[in-house]
Amino acid sequence: MASGTELTSNSYLQHHLQNLVLGKLPEGYERAGGHIVEHSSWTFAHSPQEALDMGFWSLNVDTMGWSIFLGMIFCFFFYRVAKKVESGAPSGFANLIEMTVEFVNKNVNDIMTVKNPLIGPLALTIFIWITLMNTMDIVPVDLLPLIAQFVTGNEHLYFKVVPTTDPNITFGLSLGVFILIIYYSIKMKGVGGFIGELAFQPFGKYMIPFNLILEGIGLLAKPVSLALRLFGNLYAGELIFLLIATLIGSALPYFIGTIFGGALQFVWAVFHILIILLQAFVFMMLTIVYLAMAHEHH
């Protein structure tokens, strides 16, 4: 019984942590259940192994869909408030948005020594968009997947609803920041100045190989640290929600387990709100700091 419960729990965890993947399977591929693909075609993966075999050009449909949808919500509400802005003190939702904008602008002005009109909107977009994506983590773990399964009629449908638990999203965001770091480093210092900063710091011109290794690692560590910090914290938070659901459900009778598990989920959700906001704030602040460093001469 214990092994069967463990298998069920593992299957539950694997199902909730697997993305809805669209990719291309080659002709003759044997799918889960023994079905053979007659012609090479694009389809949804029916198992984690199929998602892996689809390769690099597969697409996590749920991650992409939710991130775009939440980005559109951000643009819609901020556009509505900006369009209706009036002189005088704002109220309600407009007041919240104005406070958020002022908060982001204050951090940008405190850190940036060179004025750049792009950094403020970029920091605001990063903070709000990541906050919205992180907030999906406090939606009950089974609610949206069950709705998706009901709508599609596929009870085995994979449906992951927290975009920032997918490293494709976090690395995509961090690579975008990294490109801006390189762009502004070259724009402000020139190609020679940028290369010289990597080659001659911190030990001078006689230690160029060591300088390149140290500075190169430091430069590449910026996008990696941005992506992994955000991904690791949100993935761990999602995993704890799932573990609470599986452990309580398997250890207690259904009625008692539902009440006790729901209470634990609520407590963790309240605490997790801090993580949601903190990780969005940290990503925004590090982006501002890195871009401020790119604007400065060594």
Convert the pLDDT of each residue in 167-221 to its tens digit: 999 999 999 999 999 999 999 888 888 888 888 777 777 788 888 888 889 889 9
Amino acid 80: pLDDT: 87
Catalytic member of 9, 31, 229, 250: 229
Q: What is the pLDDT of residue 18?
A: 87
CB 160 within 8 A of CB 63: yes
What are the two backbone dihedrals, phi and then psi, of residue 125, each rounded to the nearest 5 degrees? -60, -45
The per-residue pLDDT for 12 is 72
Q: Cα–Cα distance between 250 and 261 in angstroms, integer? A: 11
CA dist 28 and 20 (Å) reads: 22
Residue 233 annotated to the active site? yes
Q: Quick check: is 138 in a domain?
A: yes
150 domain-assigned? yes
Residue 207 belongs to domain spanning: 61-295
Q: Following DSSP, what letter does each residue of 96-139 receive, concatenated? A: HHHHHHHHHHHHHHHH-SS--TTHHHHHHHHHHHHHHHHHGGGS
Predicted structure pTM score: 0.85
Alpha-carbon distance of 219 to 294, in angstroms, equals: 11
In a domain, 287, yes or no: yes
Q: Which of 60, 174, 185, 233 is catalytic?
A: 233
- Of 239, 223, 221, 222, the C-alpha closest to 275 is 239
Classify residue 271 by its DSSP letter.
Answer: H
Q: Cα 77–82–163 angle (5° rounding)?
A: 30
Give the separation between CA 75 and CA 69, rounded to whole angstroms. Answer: 10
The answer to whether residue 20 is domain-embedded is no
pLDDT for the residue 8: 62
Q: Does some domain include residue 26? A: no
Per the residue annotation, which of 10, 41, 109, 225 is the catalytic one?
225
| Alpha-carbon radius of gyration of the chain | 23
How large is the greatest C-alpha to C-alpha distance in the chain, in angstroms? 72
**Which token pair is 46?**
């029916």
Tokens (6 digits) for 195: 């290369």
Q: Are 201 and 189 in contact (CB under 8 A)?
A: no
In-domain check, residue 253 = yes
Is 56 within a domain?
Answer: no
Which stretches of the chain score pLDDT less than 50? Answer: 1-7
Q: Is residue 257 part of a domain?
A: yes
Tally the domains of the chain. 1
